[in-house]
Every structure is written in C-alpha cells, then in structure tokens.
C-alpha cells in the first residue's frame, strides 16, 4: 500500500491513498500505475500535460514523469542529446559520499570503480554517473569531473581534492527507433558538463537521461526500459533508489511476467530476440552512517534481490552494476559505524523494496505511450 502521491493532470491534482497490486488488475491499471507506484512521502509530477496523468508528449513523444524528493547531500540531473537518442543521469554529492558497488553482469562498461574496492586508499567520491552509448558514453564522466575541478579552484589539484565520479554505461543503440534518431551519437564531455548546470531535487522517470532509449525483455517481446526512482523517509533515516533498465530479461511482479502480456508490449522496439546489448544500472543512497563492509553487504544484498523482478538477471551479456552510497554531510566520518546487523537488515529490506518500485516505474512509464513513440 502506498502513501499519498500527487499527480498533475492538466492542472487537476489527483490523490490516491492506495492501490491494489494484484497482477490480474495490471491491465486495467496500466494507464495510472506509473503515477501511484510510489514509496512514502514523495511527489510524482508529469513533465507536461496531454496524456494519461498528463505525460509529456514531446517532439518524439517520450513519456516522462518527475519524482521530487528532499535529501540533503544529494542532487540529480538527467539530460539527453538533441535527437533524444542517448543521454546521461548524474547523482551528485555536494559534500561527498562513501561508496561501494556490486557487479554481476558479464559485460560491464564502467570507469573509476577500482578505487571503490576493499583495501583501496579511499572510497570517497563526488558523484555517480550513468550514461548511454556503451563504452563511448563513459566520456561524459570527464565533463562532470572537469566542472568539479574548475569549481574547486586552487585546491582542485590537491590529492584529496581531485574529483572522483565513477561512471557506468548501457548499450542503448538498439532502442533508437524514433524518427530522427541518431544511431551513432553517444554522451559527450559537453553533455557531462551540462549536467552540472541542471542539478536539483527532481528525478526524471521513464524515457529520460541514460534510459531514454533503453529496452528490456530482449529475448521475448521487447519493450522500452527507461529509468525510475523511489524515495522514502523512515524513522531511522532516508533512502533514495534509482535504476536504468536495459535488461536482457523480462520484468516480473510476484513471480509472474507482466510486460509480455501487457498492452505495454504493443509496438515494442523489436520482436526479434537480441540476447546481447544489455545492462541494468542501479543506485542506492542513504543518510545512514555505513562503513565499507556494510556498504558492500548492502550492495550485494540489494543487487541479489533485484533477481525477483528481472528474469533472467546477470547474464553473460548484461553489464549489471549497482552502486550504494552513504552521505558524508550528516556524520563525523572519523567515528566508526555503530549500525547493528539487525538494523542493516532493515536497510537491506527497505532498499530492496524501493529498488523493485524503481524498476516498475521505469518500465511502466517508458512504455505508457510506446505506440506514439514510433511515429
């Protein structure tokens, strides 16, 4: 059951206290599920008016919604190239964060992840970047780092002030089916620099950022993947999760496939099996103080739990990677974490549930207007 979410529909505000999540009701609720698959005190808005729940009908008709959140120490930005063929999504930590990661896929495209390994000098970073364009899109991380470096002026060259922005990329060339798509473009350094000019507390969901042309269920009836997020405040702290879905596998709810039997699959990008060209990028950040071992365990556990929602997951052709972060601005990092295992379990359970919601949001919103996206 969800808490109240807010949705704009042509100026009308709709309130819904709860929805039933029975798979049998998914077909009837397809048009509104993206709006209400929310976790806690978060606000979901359309980026325009004109469709179910007022989804954006842009020049290439890509549905998007925005998730507004308030989490000190985290800012986000999502941008696409001028043809809406690829994009990037930035998670920026103004005061830094301690980060770990878990990688399971057999085709990971990433940069600056070795510094996050156990035993490295430091796992303190300035941000995490997700990009399209496969390995070529890693270039966008250079743009983010250049801006941070310039902003630090004289101290930018100090060893501990050199910017660190681990980056991971998805292969999004296969989902570029709309009129005017550029089949060769990739996120550039300039796009990375522009992301730093668009930071805020609004996360764009659906076909946006690094998820603008991603797809899923590539061995079945292929559908758009998109990007989604979830934010929740608990008594013990706050959790924000986000995901870019470009999975080989299908999306499950309660163990049953929903995309292949849903209207979302109509006019999907391709019905020909494409087992390669896949990756799911995921991110979790909390203001709970965690040490490196706890961050690593959180990453492993939440990443493993995503297999309940994506099937198959971590295939040889997937570049699956998950980053977890503990914000620095709330804590004295000279003191060790006193989080107990039982409390860590609570965080794992909360993060896993929110990651599941992030996946549902990404795919539901990305496919909500798929028939128009092909025009």
For 122-154, write each residue's pLDDT tens digit.
899 999 999 999 999 999 999 999 999 999 877
CB 246 within 8 A of CB 264: no
For residues 345-358, give the mean pLDDT. 95
End-to-end CA gap in the chain? 36
Pairing type for strands 124-131 and 167-169 reads parallel
For residues 5-24, give the mean pLDDT. 31
CB 325 within 8 A of CB 15: no
For residues 321-338, give the mean pLDDT. 75
Q: For tokens 């006019």, what's the residue?
A: 267
Query: What b/e readout covers 306-323, taking b as 16+ CB neighbours within 10 angstroms?
Result: bebbbbebbbebbbbbbb
* Lowest mean pLDDT, pick from 38-52, 86-100, 240-254, 315-329: 38-52
Q: What is the pLDDT of residues 18-65, one digit of tens each?
A: 322 333 333 433 433 444 444 444 456 544 322 222 233 234 557 789
Confidence band for 311, pLDDT divided at 50, 70 and 90? confident
Q: Where along the chain do its domains lie?
A: 71-373
| Residue 14: predicted pLDDT | 29
Query: 341 vs 287, which has greater pLDDT?
Result: 287
- Compute the distance between CA of residue 215 and CA of residue 221 in angstroms, rounded to an integer: 10
* Of the candidates 112, 160, 100, the residue with the CA atom closest to the CA atom of residue 291: 100
Phi, psi angle pair for 162, to nearest 5°:
-60, 125
Highest mean pLDDT among 163-177, 268-282, 309-323: 163-177
Q: Report whether pLDDT(11) > 50.
A: no
Rounded to the nearest 10°, the torsion over CA 251, 308, 112, 137 is: 0
- Compute the distance between CA of residue 298 and CA of residue 302 in angstroms, rounded to an integer: 6
Q: Report whether pLDDT(263) > 80.
A: no
- Chain mean pLDDT for the chain: 78
Confidence band for 108, pLDDT divided at 50, 70 and 90? confident
pTM: 0.82
DSSP per-residue letters across 53-85:
GG----TT---EEEEE---TT-EEEEEE-TTSS
* Lowest mean pLDDT, pick from 9-13, 33-37, 200-204, 205-209: 9-13
Q: Report whether pLDDT(233) > 70.
A: yes
Domain 71-373 has CATH 3.40.50.620: no
* Of the candidates 301, 298, 297, 280, the residue with the CA atom closest to the CA atom of residue 358: 280
What is the C-alpha radius of gyration for the chain, rounded to an integer number of angstroms?
19
Q: Report whether pLDDT(186) > 80.
A: yes
């Amino acid at each position: 059951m969800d808490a109240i979410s807010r949705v704009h529909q042509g100026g009308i505000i709709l309130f819904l206290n709860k929805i039933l999540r029975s798979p049998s009701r998914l077909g009837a609720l397809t048009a509104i599920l993206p709006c209400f698959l929310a976790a806690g005190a978060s606000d979901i808005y359309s980026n325009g008016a004109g469709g179910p729940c007022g989804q954006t009908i842009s020049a290439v008709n890509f549905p998007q919604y925005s998730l507004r959140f308030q989490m000190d120490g985290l800012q986000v930005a999502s941008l696409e190239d001028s043809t809406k063929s690829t994009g990037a999504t930035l998670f920026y930590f103004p005061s830094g964060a301690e980060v770990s990661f878990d990688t399971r896929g057999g085709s990971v495209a990433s940069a600056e992840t070795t510094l996050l390994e156990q035993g490295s000098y430091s796992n303190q970073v300035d941000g995490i970047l997700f990009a399209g364009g496969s390995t070529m899109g890693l270039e966008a991380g250079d743009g983010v780092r250049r801006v941070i470096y310039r902003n630090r002026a004289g101290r930018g060259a100090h060893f501990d002030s050199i910017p660190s922005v681990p980056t991971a990329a998805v292969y999004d060339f296969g989902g570029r089916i709309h009129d005017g798509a550029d089949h060769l473009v990739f996120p550039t350094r300039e796009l990375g620099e522009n992301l730093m000019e668009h930071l805020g507390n609004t996360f764009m969901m659906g076909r946006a950022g690094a998820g603008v042309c991603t797809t899923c269920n590539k061995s079945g009836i292929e559908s758009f993947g998109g990007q989604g997020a979830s934010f929740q405040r608990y008594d013990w702290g706050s959790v924000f999760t986000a995901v870019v879905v470009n999975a080989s596998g299908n999306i499950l709810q309660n163990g049953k496939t929903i995309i292949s039997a849903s209207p979302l699959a109509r006019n999907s990008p391709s019905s020909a099996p494409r087992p390669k060209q896949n990756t799911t990028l995921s991110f979790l950040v909390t203001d709970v103080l965690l040490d490196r071992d706890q961050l690593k365990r959180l990453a492993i556990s939440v990443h493993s739990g995503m297999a309940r929602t994506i099937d198959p997951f971590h295939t040889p052709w997937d570049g699956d990677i998950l980053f977890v972060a503990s914000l620095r601005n709330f804590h004295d990092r000279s003191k060790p974490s006193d989080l107990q295992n039982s409390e860590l379990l609570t965080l794992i359970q909360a993060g896993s549930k929110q990651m599941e919601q992030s996946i549902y949001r990404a795919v539901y919103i990305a496919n909500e207007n798929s028939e128009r996206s092909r025009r």
